[in-house]
Structure 1
Amino acid sequence: MSVELPDQREPVIEGRPDLFLNIIWFDGFQELVRQHNKLQATVASQQDQINDLISRVEALENP
């Protein structure tokens, strides 16, 4: 795939010369993966905090 010469790009689907994958899509996909990973880390952290709170409440209920 060539950025300078768009006529020499490889089609995404064989037989569909009108479909091409632009290099900008890769940057967007990388950002999407970064945001997803960040969200997953946030969810995991919140779940750890919830589990800690549950264990504290259980400890208070059962002296």
Structure 2
Amino acid sequence: MIAIPQQPQKMTVEEYLEWELQQDVRYEYVNGEVFAMTGGTIPHNDIALNLYSALRPHLRSRG
């Protein structure tokens, strides 16, 4: 069984920063709530880069 780190329901920014230093995985802080972040993969990064590369010329032409 995997132990899930416990955190308060709502945190201040300062509480979150102190708490996160003690965690093994990365978390995202949104309006006082904390969410575990998933790890990126090489295929995920390739998809994101391809999307950016496809959209960039269209967005730059609009200023």
Query: TM-score normalized by structure 1?
Result: 0.29
Which structure has the greater CA radius of gyration?
A: 1
- Which structure is higher in RCO with an 8 Å CA cutoff and minimum separation 6? 2
- Under a length normalisation based on structure 2, what TM-score does the superposition of the two structures give? 0.29
- Higher relative strand content: 2
Higher helix share: 1
